[in-house]
Structure 1
Amino acid sequence: MDGWFVGFCTTAILFYYSVVCGWSLKYFVLSISGQITNIDHTAYWQSYTASIYQPVLYHLVSIIVGGYIIYHGVIKGVEKYCKIMIPALFTLLIIAAIKALTLTGSEIGRNYFFELDLSTLFNAKIWLDGLSQSAWSTGAGWGLILTYSIYARKDDNIISNSFITGIGNNMASIIAGLAIIPTVFALSSNIPSAYEALDSGNQGLAFIIIPQLFIKMNGGTVFSGVFFLALFIAAISSLISMIELAVRIMIDFGFSRKNATLIICISAFFIGMPSAISIDIFNNQDWVWGLGLMLSGAFFTFAVIKIKTDTFIDDWLKPSRYVIIYKAIFKILFYICLPIEFVIMLGWWLWQSIQWNPSSWWNPLSIYGVGGVLLQWIIILLIGLIFNHKFVFMIKKNRN
């Protein structure tokens, strides 16, 4: 049942994440066509997300791009295109960061970005936001890395690869931060406006504030194109891993890769359409299944605890050295740190959600309500509980 929830949670994110890819692609087209300089960005964003045709079209294009890559398999598809996309992403981010750091006034944003405020170390929200961001950006608890591990070589160093994944992710995050935050401070009319822009949320910052700021600089159209192309590449690289997870599950049930890819992509298009058409539905699904990753991560933690960390290291990770050190670290992480983190994050989320919506937190129809999250989680968990043995039987039968 745990695996069912993890698999469904990531697939549910796939259904609406393709919409984000579509937004990025649409704004890249706006940038290279020059239209982005001639629009009221707030009004355009509101009009675009309230429309039907274009969000659905770009949602479809994103699924086709991701599906095409997965259709060709991991070696000829994912590995081949990631060798192009990941270097391209870093190149675009570095170009954007260099441009941002050369803007007059960017030093204010740079100082803000790297300023160390020791008092914030005692702020629980800072730690929780950091944990949430790390879990989201590294793919921890999604099942994505577990899916890719099927194709790993026996001599691959899992611990080193995991370490490199974390380092690479944090490097990309820092470069992206240097591209965005100094730009916001350099091009905002004053510092309070810059703070207001940073507080506008992911959608508002990326698709309203950033375009407004880019048109104020020389060559703004070009750098707007660079920014949104980088955003699209980053989004599509995540999307293909989600599609691969769903396709891999279908393969385990006996489908061929090609048929599984077609089924998943067609399903993703139709199930994701409501999120493409309604920003409220999108926000609700992002809220429900983004939080679901926390539960998915807990399931992975409990799975390791169940088989014991020493067994997990000896049978699965198989380090060639520092075995005693790894075992000691994993005991502290899995028996103490991770369970405590899960309980604290879950408790903080419940408390915060009730504080934000004191009169409607229980309402299952509320966009950001606790009731809606728990209802959708419970439905999926019940389906997994009812059909778990059937699913396991079908997978074992296919493998045999």
Structure 2
Amino acid sequence: MSSKNRNTFSTSFGFVLAAAGSAVGLGNIWRFPYLAAKDGGGLFLVMYLVLAVTFGFALLTTEVAIGRKTKQSPLTAYRELHKKWGWLGKVACIIPMLILPYYCVIGGWVLKYALVFLTGKGAAAAGDGYFTSFITAPYSPIVFTVIFLFLSCFIIYRGVKKGIEALSKILMPVLVVLVIGISVFALTMSRTADDGTLRTGLDGLKIFVIPDLTGITANKFMITLMDAMGQLFYSLSVAMGIMIAYGSYVPNKSNLVKSINRIEIFDTAVAILAGVMIIPTVFVFMGKEGIGASGPGLMFVAMPKIFSQMGFIGNIIGAVFFVMVFFAALTSSISILEAVVSSFMDEFKISRRRSVVIEGVLALVLGVIVCLGYNKLYFELALPNGATAQILDVMDYISNNILMPVVSIGTCILVGWIIKPKSMLDEITRNGESFARKNLYVFMVKFLAPVLLIILFLKSLGVLTF
């Protein structure tokens, strides 16, 4: 696809909403609150905020700048920067190809629960074994996966302006309103526990925002630091090729510094609101120990049980909650798909329609395999980090724990030491913008970010333990 004929976002605000929509996904909603609760509440929050404006900012800025500078997708952008580094683009393209199938499977689960609550049957979803019986069913999970994947493909087929940007301008404001609404409701809740103590949403908020330094050690500090850094990959959608693809659609006249700052603020605010929304709610109904549920257990088991305890209003709140999660999942899914589709278009010079069909079929095949991983193809495998996994977990581990750190480390080496940070700084300030964090950016890309990423990578492989 020629850069002259390349689609672009119509406005900088459209780019910010699309990028924020990509960043605000399932990782923010079901992973961020769990890690915050596990790692000392406010301690994790402080580390996350510091890393967001340093480490995360450097990676996000670099990827967006690479995209706009090259006007290429992740598969071809690295080759455009340096001919010998084209391999990095291939790895960056493999990541979203691995993530999309299982993300659509989980998106199908969310769609299923949204429909259950919208039809007034939320109480059934709170039953013991409901989630397990659903994901192990032979056909139902596949049907919902197909529906979710089709919606994602349809939006991407419509293109940058009519698909990605148009949807983001509608869904993101609605998503923010829903998140804020549920957060306010969570803070106003209260309930008397079985032991007679009164639990309030504000007490749950304290767990989230006030640092718990009880028993803090160097090892615990490092674990929290690594968790916060790992979360940034999910929160900012970096190392997946997404921001390179989206950056390639940013007009040259746009103020890149301002746009990146807005994405940081938007994403961080929603991540924090996700914690405000979930941690106080779980605390009120399940106590501090209940906050330990993570991933599917938090979203599809703990939350429905909580909604069932709210009475009639619980079905309404549950419907609003799962619709909100569905919107978040969909905006992230389309960004993952776009990273692959744009790569196919640039590398093989084929149409958007054909690229969507090819990747849609690939994602469908792998998505069905992921669904079958809970019944006919079920197995258990011990991962290097000590976790027990089946097909979805294996794909997640390879993409998130191995390939994403490799791409980020390679990007830092390429930009920091091969083509030099000045190449990115020139792009960032193309229109004479003031770049206040210029020195911080150079330091992070050349020195600190690569070191932190290598530590994270070695920890993921089980070489380092804390």
Normalising by structure 2, report the TM-score: 0.71
Q: Give the aligned partner of residue 395 of structure 1.
A: none
- Greater alpha carbon shift after TM alignment, 31-40 vs 333-342: 31-40
Q: Give the aligned partner of residue 164 of structure 2.
A: 78
| Matched residue type, 1:261 | V
Equivalent of residue 268 in structure 2, options 166, 170, 175 = 170
Q: Give the aligned partner of residue 409 of structure 2.
A: 298
Q: Give the aligned partner of residue 250 of structure 1.
A: 344
Q: Give the aligned partner of residue 235 of structure 1.
A: 329
In the TM superposition, residue 250 of structure 1 has moved relative to its aligned partner by 1.4
Number of positions where the alignment pairs a residue of Structure 1 with one of Structure 2: 349
CA contact (8 A) 2:455 2:464 kept: no
In structure 1, what is the Cα distance between the partners aligned to 2:128 and 2:101? Answer: 26
Runs of 4+ in 1 over 4 A off after TM superposition: 118-122, 352-355
Q: Give the aligned partner of residue 14 of structure 1.
A: 100
- Greater alpha carbon shift after TM alignment, 59-68 vs 134-143: 134-143
Q: Give the aligned partner of residue 154 of structure 2.
A: 68
Q: Give the aligned partner of residue 281 of structure 1.
A: 391
| Matched residue type, 1:263 | I
- Does 2:457 correspond to 1:346? yes
| Matched residue type, 1:50 | T
CA contact (8 A) 2:131 2:301 kept: yes
CA contact (8 A) 2:105 2:371 kept: yes
Q: Give the aligned partner of residue 224 of structure 2.
A: 126
In structure 1, what is the Cα distance between the partners aligned to 2:161 and 2:370? Answer: 31
2:247 is paired with a residue whose SS is helix
Q: Which has the larger share of helix?
A: 1
In the TM superposition, residue 30 of structure 1 has moved relative to its aligned partner by 1.1
In the TM superposition, residue 39 of structure 1 has moved relative to its aligned partner by 4.8
1:41 is paired with a residue whose SS is coil
Q: Give the aligned partner of residue 306 of structure 2.
A: 213
Change beyond 3 A, Cα 1:157–1:41: farther
Change beyond 3 A, Cα 1:73–1:322: closer
In the TM superposition, residue 115 of structure 1 has moved relative to its aligned partner by 0.8
CA contact (8 A) 1:310 1:327 kept: no
CA contact (8 A) 1:69 1:77 kept: yes
CA contact (8 A) 1:15 1:271 kept: yes
In structure 2, what is the Cα distance between the partners aligned to 1:309 and 1:297? Answer: 15
2:450 is paired with a residue whose SS is helix
Change beyond 3 A, Cα 1:80–1:39: closer
Q: Give the aligned partner of residue 62 of structure 2.
A: none
- Does 2:131 correspond to 1:45? yes
2:239 is paired with a residue whose SS is coil
Q: Give the aligned partner of residue 356 of structure 2.
A: 261
- Does 2:237 correspond to 1:139? yes
CA contact (8 A) 1:49 1:278 kept: no
Change beyond 3 A, Cα 1:215–1:78: same
Change beyond 3 A, Cα 1:121–1:80: farther
Change beyond 3 A, Cα 1:91–1:154: same
In the TM superposition, residue 52 of structure 1 has moved relative to its aligned partner by 2.2
1:297-344 CA deviation, whole Å, 9 max, x = no partner?
222212212210123212455362545x54422221012111110121
- Does 2:420 correspond to 1:334? no
1:43-71 CA deviation, whole Å, 9 max, x = no partner?
11111111121110110001111111111
| Matched residue type, 1:312 | M
In structure 2, what is the Cα distance between the partners aligned to 1:121 and 1:91? Answer: 39
In the TM superposition, residue 288 of structure 1 has moved relative to its aligned partner by 1.6
Unaligned runs of 5+ in 2: 1-86, 191-199, 375-389
Q: Between the two proteins, what is the percent identity of the paired residues? A: 26
| Matched residue type, 1:213 | I
Normalising by structure 1, report the TM-score: 0.83
In the TM superposition, residue 354 of structure 1 has moved relative to its aligned partner by 7.9
| Matched residue type, 2:317 | F
- Does 2:141 correspond to 1:29? no
In structure 1, what is the Cα distance between the partners aligned to 2:359 and 2:462? Answer: 36
Q: Give the aligned partner of residue 113 of structure 1.
A: 208
Unaligned runs of 5+ in 1: 356-400
Q: Give the aligned partner of residue 390 of structure 1.
A: none
Q: Give the aligned partner of residue 222 of structure 1.
A: 316
CA contact (8 A) 1:66 1:239 kept: yes
Q: Give the aligned partner of residue 203 of structure 1.
A: 296
Equivalent of residue 179 in structure 2, options 82, 93, 102 = 93
Q: Give the aligned partner of residue 78 of structure 2.
A: none
- Greater alpha carbon shift after TM alignment, 204-213 vs 264-273: 264-273
In the TM superposition, residue 160 of structure 1 has moved relative to its aligned partner by 2.0
CA contact (8 A) 1:159 1:319 kept: no
1:351 is paired with a residue whose SS is coil
Give me the CA root mean square deviation: 1.9
Change beyond 3 A, Cα 1:327–1:167: closer
Change beyond 3 A, Cα 1:240–1:347: same
1:219-247 CA deviation, whole Å, 9 max, x = no partner?
00011011111111101100001111111
| Matched residue type, 1:199 | G
In structure 2, what is the Cα distance between the partners aligned to 1:316 and 1:171? Answer: 24
In structure 2, what is the Cα distance between the partners aligned to 1:162 and 1:250? Answer: 26
